[in-house]
Structure 1
Amino acid sequence: MHFYDGHFGGMHLIWWIIWIVLIAWIFFIPADIPYQKTKKENPLDILKKRFAEGFISKEEFEESKKTLNSDN
C-alpha cells in the first residue's frame, strides 16, 4: 500500500481545512459575539456619566441635553 504515491491524500486535505478554519476563526472572530450581553451607551448616557464624574457643569449638562433632545 502506497500512502504518498504523488497524490494528495484525502485525510491530509481534511486536516489542512480544519487548521485553516480554526486559525481563521481565532483571528477573524467578530467583535460582537452573539449572545454576549454588552450595553452600548447612547449619547445621553455618556453625557450623564460625564456630569456624574464632574467633567461638565450643570449648565453644560442642561445645554447639551437640550441639544441632544432637539436632534431627535
Structure 2
Amino acid sequence: MLKNAQTHVVRISNSILSKRKCLYKYDEIKNAMNFQMLAVSYLIGLEMVKLMAIIAIRFGHREYLSLKNAAQI
C-alpha cells in the first residue's frame, strides 16, 4: 500500500513539473521532493495509527497508553 501511494505521489509531482515548463527546474524539483516526503510521512503516520488501534483492541487499553507515551518521547 505504501509503495503504491508513493508511486502515485511521484506521478502527481512529475505531472506538476511537466505542466510548468521552466528552464530552472531546481526549485520545482526540490518542492516536489518535499511534497513526496510529506505525503510518505503522512502515510507512515496513518499506518502507525492503524497499528496502535489494533494493539489497543487486542491487548487492552493499558498497553495502548504505554505505546502512545513511548511514541511521544
TM-score with structure 1 length normalisation? 0.34
Question: Which has more helix, going by share of residues?
Answer: 2
Of structures 1 and 2, the one with the larger relative CO (CA 8 A, separation 6+) is: 2
TM-score with structure 2 length normalisation? 0.34
